[in-house]
């Protein structure tokens, strides 16, 4: 370790109750950023294969390259985000620098000229991955550092995730409303790209100039080897990321199988879009419920209650007969509300476990931690696909085949396998050691050492 002289920027954490307009200003870029995730993994493959006529194998290989590059990006950008210290602020500067690349790449990927090939998809996909990761890691770290108190972090994360859900609804609604089955003219995916091109720089500028750069409480600079040691010895972080990974599997498996379950098991293909929209719409309402529950019971217990309620709500899904639109819509509404707990509370707890590292290592390394968080998210989504599809194949499930055994396997994989993963996550988090009192003690140690009042 080496001594590190730090100069405090205008601090949002000097006031434990950051004004609501500043929180909203900070969270605004979450809308266009969220509009990038669902299309890249759900709509882009369909558009490039069915509309542009590229082969499924070539599109799959191109997206595999993008995902591998994306996974490598996370730790590198997380490390750079913590080491980059310009006068304007290490969080705001890197975030602002990433916006032009992200916005332009989104437009080029979502509105390609007719006749493009796999090279176009691969090249702009790689650039969008680089820009998006360069935006999201400092953006997440910025939010974690804006408040230093236990419940203030829930408030900031809650607003950010609520706007993230609005962006997700935009990403669902706009392409389907306009349509994207014709590459000529302004199709739905192109309209989404134009929306991102305009709103991401605009909302990003509002965020950068209206939201303070948080004070940095680093006293030393930790080298790579020592930093990895602190990461491994941070027991609350290890517990949290294990629980988050398992819960990510629990959410990723039904997300992957949703379209198949509604179409093949329930026989309601026309209801897929509306049900998906209702699910994410209800999640917006779940975010304030999650923050209220966290204030009453603590963040980790509130998250556990949300996961347990989701298990209960999801359990009847495999037992529904064909055509059960109303019953499944009720399940979508309930689990959508409870998704708000999964989105709002873990990032707020993550901000707390970073305090453990800051107190032990002497360096505030939020970028590295949110890079690990991002990598765990991607691995859980990839793991869901890697586990479920081979198992369904073993039991003979094929889309539109009507195979009874395969449909039963689909129903169990869709609902009961995720419940098992959620229950394991609850077991890990139930007696989580970092509550409000422990976090307050950590902040006193961190701010006392760095000369804060």
Strand 2-3 relative to strand 220-221, pairing: antiparallel
The reported pLDDT for the residue numbered 301 is: 96
The reported pLDDT for the residue numbered 363 is: 76
The reported pLDDT for the residue numbered 407 is: 86
Q: Indicate the residue among 216, 238, 268 that finishes a domain.
A: 216
Q: Answer yes or no: do 263 and 210 share one domain.
A: no
Q: Answer yes or no: do 233 and 140 share one domain.
A: no
* Distance in angstroms (rounded) separating the CA atoms of residues 365 and 217: 10
What is the pLDDT averaged over residues 396-409? 74
Q: Answer yes or no: do 160 and 271 share one domain.
A: no
Based on the number of CB atoms within 10 Å of its own CB, is 206 exposed (0-12), middle (13-18) or buried (19 or more)? middle
What confidence tier does 297 reach under pLDDT thresholds 50, 70, 90?
very high
Q: Answer yes or no: do 204 and 275 share one domain.
A: no
Q: Which of 38-47, 320-329, 429-438, 440-449 has the highest mean predicted lDDT (pLDDT)?
A: 320-329
Q: Which two tokens stand for residue 264?
A: 């093949």
Q: Answer yes or no: do 38 and 66 share one domain.
A: yes
Q: Answer yes or no: do 11 and 98 share one domain.
A: yes
The reported pLDDT for the residue numbered 150 is: 81
Answer whether residue 12 shows pLDDT above 70: no
The reported pLDDT for the residue numbered 148 is: 79
Q: Indicate the residue among 199, 216, 233 that finishes a domain.
A: 216
Tokens 């004070």 locate to 215
> Which CATH number is 206's domain given?
1.20.1250.20
Q: Answer yes or no: do 279 and 393 share one domain.
A: yes
For the entire predicted model, the pTM comes to 0.78
Helix axes 150-178, 436-449, angle to 10 degrees: 110
What confidence tier does 223 reach under pLDDT thresholds 50, 70, 90?
low
Q: Answer yes or no: do 87 and 128 share one domain.
A: yes
Distance from CA of residue 262 to its chain's centroid? 24
In this predicted model, what pLDDT tens digit does every residue of 89-139 receive, in sequence order?
Answer: 778 888 999 999 999 999 999 999 988 889 999 999 999 999 999 999 899
359 or 207: which leads in pLDDT: 207
Based on the number of CB atoms within 10 Å of its own CB, is 386 exposed (0-12), middle (13-18) or buried (19 or more)? exposed
Q: Answer yes or no: do 205 and 292 share one domain.
A: no
In this predicted model, what pLDDT tens digit does every residue of 328-374 receive, in sequence order?
Answer: 999 999 999 999 999 989 988 988 888 888 888 777 787 788 888 88
Q: Answer yes or no: do 279 and 181 share one domain.
A: no
Which residue range is the domain that position 170 belongs to? 1-216
Number of domains in the chain: 2
Residues 6+ apart with CB under 8 A from 361: 1, 220, 222, 226, 227, 230
Q: Indicate the residue among 174, 197, 216 that finishes a domain.
A: 216
In this predicted model, what pLDDT tens digit does every residue of 175-206 receive, in sequence order?
Answer: 878 887 788 889 989 999 999 999 999 999 99
Q: Answer yes or no: do 245 and 188 share one domain.
A: no
Q: Answer yes or no: do 64 and 164 share one domain.
A: yes
């Amino acid at each position: 370790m080496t001594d590190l002289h730090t100069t405090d920027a205008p601090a949002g954490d000097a006031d434990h109750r950051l004004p609501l307009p500043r929180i909203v200003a900070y969270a605004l870029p979450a809308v266009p950023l969220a509009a990038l995730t669902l299309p890249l993994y759900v709509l882009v493959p369909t558009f490039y294969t069915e509309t542009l006529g590229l082969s499924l194998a070539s599109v799959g290989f191109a997206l595999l390259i993008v995902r591998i590059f994306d996974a490598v990006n996370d730790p590198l950008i997380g490390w750079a985000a913590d080491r980059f210290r310009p006068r304007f602020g290490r969080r705001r500067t890197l975030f602002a620098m990433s916006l032009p690349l992200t916005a332009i790449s989104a437009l080029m990927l979502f509105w390609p000229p007719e006749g493009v090939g796999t090279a176009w998809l691969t090249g702009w996909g790689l650039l969008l991955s680089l820009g998006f990761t360069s935006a999201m890691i400092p953006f997440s770290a910025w939010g974690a550092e804006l408040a230093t108190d236990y419940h203030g972090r829930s408030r900031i994360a809650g607003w950010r995730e609520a706007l993230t859900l609005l962006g997700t609804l935009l990403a669902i609604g706009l392409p389907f409303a306009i349509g994207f089955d014709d590459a000529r003219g302004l199709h739905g995916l192109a309209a989404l790209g134009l929306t991102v091109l305009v709103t991401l720089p605009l909302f990003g500028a509002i965020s950068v100039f209206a939201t303070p750069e948080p004070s940095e409480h680093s006293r030393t600079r930790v080298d790579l080897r020592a930093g990895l040691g602190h990461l491994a010895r941070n027991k609350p972080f290890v517990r949290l990321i294990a629980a988050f990974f398992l819960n990510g599997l629990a959410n990723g498996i039904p997300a992957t199988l949703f379209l198949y379950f509604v179409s093949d098991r329930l026989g309601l293909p026309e209801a897929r879009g509306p049900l998906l929209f209702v699910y994410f719409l209800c999640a917006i309402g779940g975010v304030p419920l999650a923050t209220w529950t966290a204030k009453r019971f603590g963040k980790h217990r509130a998250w556990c209650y949300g996961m347990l309620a989701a298990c209960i709500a999801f359990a009847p899904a495999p037992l529904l007969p064909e055509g059960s639109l109303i019953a499944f819509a009720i399940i979508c509404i309930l689990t959508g509300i409870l998704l708000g707990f999964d989105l709002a509370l873990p990032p707020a707890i993550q901000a707390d476990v970073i305090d453990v590292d800051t107190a032990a290592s002497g360096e505030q390394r939020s970028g590295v931690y949110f890079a690990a968080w991002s990598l765990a998210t991607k691995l859980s989504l990839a793991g869901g696909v890697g586990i479920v599809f081979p198992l369904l194949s073993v039991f003979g499930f094929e889309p539109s085949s009507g195979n009874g055994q395969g449909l039963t396997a689909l129903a169990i994989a869709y609902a009961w396998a995720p419940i098992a993963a959620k229950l394991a996550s609850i077991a890990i988090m139930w007696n989580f050691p970092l509550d409000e009192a422990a976090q307050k003690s950590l902040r006193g140690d961190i701010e006392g050492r760095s000369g804060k009042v």
